[in-house]
Amino acid sequence: MAEKVTFKVFRFNPEKDKKPYYQDFEVEIRKPGMMVLDGLNQIRWEMDGTLAFRRSCREGVCGSDGLNINGVNMLSCITHISDLKPPIVIQPLPSLPVVKDLVVDLTDFMNKFFLVKPYLITYSPPPDKERLQTPEERKKLDGLYECILCACCSTSCPSYWADPEYLGPSALLNSARFILDSRDEGADERFEIINDRHGVWRCHTILNCIEACPKLLNPTEAIGELKKILIKKKF
Amino acid sequence: MKYFGSGRSGAFDWFFQRVSGIVLLVTLFLHFYVMHFAIEGPITYEKVMVRLSSPGWKALDIVFLIFAVYHAVNGFKLIIDDYVHSTVLRAVTIGLLWVMGIAFLTIGIMTIVNLRVQS
Ligand code: SF4
């Protein structure tokens, strides 16, 4: 008989359930290196077709399957079942409204992302070809551009839970992505937005976001960088 | 959206929470040094009061008091910013904080200014 692992899955159907509950599933380990997502697929395809969760690329690129697994936010598709202590407790990302089961409403998270103007802003006339930058300038964007907007960081942040207006680590990291870009000329308008008690100053350096980020980025450091620039400007 | 409270961005609060924190740390170690190493033991009321009653120490203590009260009040303000979002509650809590801060400052300054060796 194949080895089995218990998945304790958060279930909530707002049309039927008054309260959320946890349901146990026995996931069969059929091949070495199975990911949590493989387990969830097994549940949906073979045991209970009503289980709702998001996934797409299944290789840590699309950012759609951010989940709270054994208490830590991570991507189910790049997390080995064997690395986790059973029973594996799977919950939706904390603090966001639950649409159904493991699917959360990301509207607020995305709105905050758009708020920091996450696109290249330029006022100088465009050169004949593309806007160039040196390898050193490009290097400054490493650790910033890789964000896949999975929301693992923001929803792990107690400041984000407590303050509904707080932009959160992800949006702030993405603002740093453009503020620190040598080709970008929109730093001032972004600083307008993030230099706010619901912007960078709401970060209390709790460091949860670093632990949560599946792309091994460091939002706290990015926020610290932004704080430093703002303090230097002001004092 | 701006909450009730001063319209400042929070940059000042953040920066001076750090500055006042450093001042408190320095004065803490100064206190430690003066009380445990600089004084010929044993520590007695007279020895301590003579020092505390001198104008230089009074000035230093007032500076310490200002930074300590600022640090405490500002810390509470940050907690209120974190958790209290309704305008009315914010008005009440931040108002109370001001009253408490000013009260502590007044009592503290009065105490320091009036210090003298009692016999
Ligand atoms: S910074 Fe990391 S955890 Fe946060 S949204 Fe981007 S990829 Fe996800």
| Residue B46 belongs to domain with CATH number | 1.20.1300.10
Sign of CA dihedral A184, A188, A192, A194: positive
The two tokens of residue A1 are 């008989």
Cα of B11 from ligand 1 centre, angstroms: 25
Q: Which residues of chain A have pLDDT under 70?
A: 1
Q: With an 8 Å Cβ cutoff, are A159 and B83 in contact? A: no
> Is residue A108 a contact partner of residue A171, using CB atoms and an 8 Å limit?
no
pLDDT recorded at residue B1: 44
Strands A88-91 and A4-11: parallel
- Return mean pLDDT, chain B: 89
The span from the CA of B6 to the CA of A133, in Å, is 41
Lookup result for tokens 């697929």:
A41
Angle among Cα A115, A118, A121 to the nearest 5 degrees reads 110
Q: Exposure string (b/e) for A58-97, b if CB count within 10 Å is 16 or more?
A: bebebbbbbbbbbeebbbbbbbebeebeeebbbbbbbbbe
Distance in angstroms (rounded) separating the CA atoms of residues B2 and A193: 12
> Residue B3 pLDDT more than 60?
no
Label residue A143 left, alpha or beta by phi (over 0 means left) and psi (-120 to 50 means alpha). left
- In B6-114, which residue ranges form alpha helices assigned H by DSSP? 11-33, 45-53, 55-83, 87-114
pLDDT tens-digit readout, B28-72:
999 999 888 887 778 888 888 988 899 999 999 999 999 999 999
- Tell me which of B75 and B44 has the higher pLDDT: B75
pLDDT tens, position by position, A62-77: 999 999 999 999 999 9
Is residue B7 within 8 angstroms of chain A, CB to CB?
A: no
Domain contains B102: yes
pLDDT at B75 over 90: yes
Tokens (6 digits) for A100: 């159904």
Question: Rounded to whole angstroms, how far apart are CA atoms A177 and A226?
Answer: 10
User: Which chain B residues are closer than 8 Å to A198 by Cβ?
Assistant: 1
Rounded to the nearest angstrom, the distance between the alpha carbon of A209 and the centre of ligand 1 is 8
The predicted model scores a pTM of 0.91
Residues of B within 8 A of A163 (CB-CB) are 81-83, 85
CB of A176 closer than 6 angstroms to any ligand 1 atom: no
Domain count, chain B: 1
User: Is B6 within the bounds of a domain?
Assistant: no
- Sketch out chain A's domains with CATH numbers: 3-104 (3.10.20.30), 107-234 (1.10.1060.10)
**And the tokens for B26?**
């320095």
Is B1 domain-assigned? no
* C-alpha to C-alpha distance for A43 and B110, rounded to whole angstroms: 71
The pLDDT score that the predictor gives to residue A170 is 98
What's the pLDDT score for residue B114?
92
User: pLDDT of A153-180, one tens digit each?
Assistant: 999 999 999 999 999 999 999 999 999 9
State the pLDDT at residue A31.
Answer: 94
pLDDT of B5 reads: 46
pLDDT in the model for residue B4: 45
Mean predicted lDDT score pLDDT of chain A: 96
What is the predicted pLDDT for the residue at B44?
A: 86
Say if B5 falls within a structural domain. no
Residue A149, classed as helix, strand or coil, is: coil
Q: In which domain, by residue range, is B65 found? A: 11-113
Q: Contacts of residue B78 in chain A, CB cutoff 8 Å?
A: 204
| pLDDT, position A1 | 62
Q: Does B88 touch chain A (CB under 8 A)?
A: no
Helix or strand run (H / E) with residue A164: none
Supply A136's token pair.
Answer: 């050193």
Q: Is residue B17 part of a domain?
A: yes
Residue B4 located in a structural domain: no
Q: What is the mean pLDDT of residues B23-29?
A: 95
Specify the pairing of strand A21-28 against strand A4-11: antiparallel
Tell me whether B82 touches chain A (CB under 8 Å).
yes
Percent of chain B with pLDDT over 90: 70
pLDDT of residue A215: 97
pLDDT of A226 reads 97
Helix axes of B55-83 and B87-114: crossing angle, nearest 10 degrees: 170
B87 residue type, one letter? T
pLDDT class for B7, splitting at 50, 70, 90?
Answer: low
Determine the average pLDDT of the residues in B98-105. 97
Does B69 map to a domain? yes
Is A201 in contact with B85 (Cβ distance < 8 A)?
no
Are A196 and B10 a contacting pair, CB within 8 Å? yes
Residues 6+ apart with CB under 8 A from B89: none
- Judged by CB atoms closer than 8 Å, whether chains meet at A201 and B1 is answered as no
Assigned domain for B119 exists: no
Please report the pLDDT score of residue A160 as a whole number: 97
